[in-house]
Amino acid sequence: MKHFSVFSLGLKKHQMLFFIIGIALIVGCDGGKEQLNVFTWSGYVSDDIRKGFETEYGVNVIVDTYANNEDLLAKLQAGATGYDIIMPSDYMVSIMIKENLLAELNRDNIPNLQNINSLFLNKYFDPNNTYSVPYTFGTAGIAYDSSVVNPAPDSWSVFWDEKYKNQFSMLDDQRETLGATLKLLGYSLNTNDPEELEQAKNKLIAQRPLVKQYKSEAEELLIAGDVAMAHCWSGDAFRAADVRPSIRYVIPKEGSSQFIDTVCIPKSAPHKDLAEKFINYLLRPEVNAKITEFTKYGTCVPDAKNHLPKELQKHEFIYPPAEIMESLEWLIDQGDFTKQYSRAWDEVKAK
Ligand code: SPD
């Protein structure tokens, strides 16, 4: 059997060196680097955060995004094995724990856990934070361009106003969008009453001809001026308002949802140690402050506030007044009844 060698090309020593360097460049100098694969919400991990970790640890970080918790779950259930870091919200953490999809965190590798405000720890979805670390918190509401939408909306009912036909988007998110509709109807967004869910589904089907788009990345539509109003998460509304100052955000009088998004490691993660280093890095106050500056969601690390500009330390998009906080509900895993939410949502989307 004939073996190929660079010598068989008849190259001299210095030519051989160039040959090897050339091959290395083609294959990529980064070839030997470990890679951390992050699967998260769009607008959640900035280039700055990614590059900071890459430089310090000599690794590559690849970021891929999803639009809602159910898409993330479906990917993992379908056997996607490449992800090292995922960022499910509260109720989805409970579901993933039950489905045996999450790895237990090795706390020795994450000493910065001590930086987290205890208010965000030991929550109902992961009572001892065995699997999850809080990343950010926020709310869902209505983002609107005050130069177009007049009077200012204060109710979810504005999304059924014919006047705004084709001028607004709804979140592409089954629990959030059915949830907002349930609140409008005066029900809990965690209902497991089939009759209440049926009413919400029919209301959304009736709304269908008015909706321009179902989109979770609503800030993109608001910034581009493609919509004048959007069912939107608070940080994304804030990001849009940064670019278009006429954008406002309101939590409707019927109430809404609040959430904690978390950082978890899937059981199938190829680089668990590196993932824990990444989590520890995110929990450094100065890094965590950059997360808030970029995402415009709240920080769970109190010392991060020392690195934030004053206006982000207590902005009302992030910290609504107490009476509004009282109108908010957490989304909770509905167990077997979740199938009914999925079925209702599929029917709405199919119309
Ligand atoms: N652009 C980031 C959006 C993060 C939204 N978190 C969703 C919480 C869903 N309950």
The atom number, within ligand 1, closest to the CA of 257 reads 10
Domain count, the chain: 1
Note whether residue 16 is domain-resident: no
Half-sphere exposure of 168 (CA within 13 A, CB side): 28
Q: What residues in the chain have per-residue pLDDT under 70?
A: 1-31
Note whether residue 89 is domain-resident: no
Q: Of 89, 75, 83, 81, which Cα lies nearest the Cα of 41?
A: 89
Contact present, 278 and 85 (Cβ < 8 Å): yes
Residues lining ligand 1, CB < 6 A?
Answer: 41-44, 89, 176, 233, 236, 259, 261, 331
pTM score above 0.75: yes
151-201 pLDDT per residue, tens: 999 999 999 999 999 999 999 999 999 999 999 999 999 999 999 999 999
Helix 194-207 to helix 338-350 angle (10° resolution) is: 20
Please give the sequence-ordered ranges of beta strands (E in DSSP) within 146-221, or none if there are none.
Answer: 168-170, 213-214
Note whether residue 199 is domain-resident: yes
Note whether residue 207 is domain-resident: yes
Whole-number pLDDT of residue 257: 98
Note whether residue 330 is domain-resident: yes
Q: Distance, CA 128 to ligand 1 centroid (Å)?
A: 23
Sign of CA dihedral 20, 23, 28, 33: negative
Whole-number pLDDT of residue 31: 65
List the residue whose alpha carbon is closest to atom 6 of ligand 1: 261
Note whether residue 333 is domain-resident: yes
Alpha carbon 172 to chain centroid, angstroms: 13
Q: Distance, CA 88 to ligand 1 centroid (Å)?
A: 9
Note whether residue 62 is domain-resident: no
Which domain covers residue 206, as residue numbers?
A: 138-258+325-350
Note whether residue 340 is domain-resident: yes
> Which two three-digit tokens encode residue 133?
């670390």
CATH number for the domain spanning 343: value is 3.40.190.10
